[in-house]
Amino acid sequence: MRSPVELLFLPGTVEEIEQITSRMRRIRIAVERLKTVPWLPGQHVRVNVTPPRQWLRHPGDARRTYSVWQLDRTRGTLDLCILDHGDGPGAQWSRTARPGKPVTLSRPEGRLTLRESPYHLFIGDETAAVAFAAMLRALPPQTPGYGVLATDAPEGEVPLPPGHHLSWVHRGDADPADPGALLGAVRTLDLPDGPGTAYLAGEARTCQAVREHLVRERGWNRRQIVVKPFWAPGRRGLD
């Protein structure tokens, strides 16, 4: 008989850890029940990053949300790529994760998934690159992907699937919440005639600024733009 935790969450075990950028590590989690759980590229899971005994005392610190980098239903594993920043519960959990450590997580969910479109536009920062990489792998070969992503320096670039028109811009020492560098690069993008579908993810105000550019300067309809704010300065729960 399954425990209450197992009924609510998927129990798993950390299987493998790999550093993929200067500040991001890939954590592979083996979850037997993933073999039958639906998943769409771009979706996320919620990981319980504190022990159950702390959930009632500190409910805001109990879970953190991470995009799925890759899910292998045959093996029953998923990969999360977690940015190491700050000292919040999520960052602490990722730093202390080791192979063999038990972990519980939610089923995959979320609306940041591919729509039918003549082409796809991906814009965000390094926190969006994980979901975008999964979505790019799922694109049909004949459907092009365009976009630009921002990070602080070349060593922060997350590996993306080849064969698409995506580039990185480096903000240097600028505030990660400053939309200037990313918005400037978006303005220079050479896109096909007519709108496709845009996916904007990352810092909340930057997503809004890019959406306004697409609507006001490029003539896109808001229904053609999917916005998923992943973080905002000082917002609890995104650490």
- What is the percent of the chain with per-residue pLDDT over 70, rounded to a whole number? 91
What is the widest separation between alpha-carbon atoms in the chain? Answer: 58
pLDDT confidence of residue 90 = 87
Q: Are 219 and 195 in contact (CB under 8 A)?
A: yes
How does residue 3 score in pLDDT terms, banded at 50, 70 and 90? low
Q: What is the DSSP string of 186-236?
A: HHT----SS--EEEEEEEHHHHHHHHHHHHHTT---GGGEEEEEEE-TT-T
Query: Can you give the pLDDT at residue 44?
Result: 97
Q: How confident is the model at residue 202 (pLDDT cuts 50, 70, 90)?
A: very high
Nearest CA-CA partner of 191 in 216, 166, 169, 212:
166
Continuous segment of H or E residues that includes residue 11: strand 10-19
pLDDT at residue number 84 = 87
Residue 177 has pLDDT above 80, yes or no: yes
Confidence (pLDDT) at 239:
40
Question: What pLDDT is attached to residue 237?
Answer: 43
> Does the pLDDT value for residue 97 go beyond 50?
yes
Token pair for 67 = 């995009």
**pLDDT (mean) for 177-188:** 95
pLDDT tens digits along 18-64: 999 999 999 999 999 999 999 999 999 999 998 776 666 656 678 89
